[in-house]
Amino acid sequence: MSETEAEADTDRDAAGGTLETMRPNPAWDADAYEDAVEALSEDGLVFRVWGGDWCGDCRGQLPDFGAALDAADVPDERVHHYPVEKEDDGSKTGPLVGEYGIELIPTVVVERDGEAVARYVEDEPVSIAVYLAERLRE
């Protein structure tokens, strides 16, 4: 990564915050998701998570994703939280919302070497961890 890319990463990360909903669910069973945990543990992956502690979908999905990242031993410095607020018209505001085209939450973008390689948006038939693991294996 060049010095300019590293500075841009630092600028992007400084805009983040903390999502309480990313606190790992202690009841989540890593053994049941061995393949997903393995895929998420790949060195160099960066996880950018947009959500809101006020959001029902986020409260339902992000604790399990936090547990998956924890099980995969993903270092905290590779997981960036971006708290989002919902405006009266339904639009979302918050850090990097415009830059990443965030319209629905939770949204998780996985990057490798500064490039987006997988994206989860709000609702899929499988969990965030499983969905992203499938995309990372493609």
Q: Where are the domains of the chain?
A: 3-137
Domain 3-137, CATH homologous superfamily name and number:
Glutaredoxin (3.40.30.10)
With contact defined as beta carbons under 8 Å apart, do 45 and 110 qualify? yes
With contact defined as beta carbons under 8 Å apart, do 75 and 33 qualify? no
Q: Give the confidence band of 1 by pLDDT, cuts at 50, 70, 90.
A: very low
Q: Examine the pLDDT at 2 and tell me if it is beyond 90.
A: no
Q: What is the pLDDT of residue 138?
A: 87
Question: For the whole prediction, is pTM greater than 0.85?
Answer: yes
pLDDT in tens, 7-16: 444 444 545 7
pLDDT in tens, 81-112: 999 999 999 899 999 999 999 999 999 999 99
Q: What is the pLDDT of residue 6?
A: 40
With contact defined as beta carbons under 8 Å apart, do 36 and 42 qualify? no
Interior angle at CA 81, CA 73 and CA 117, nearest 5: 70
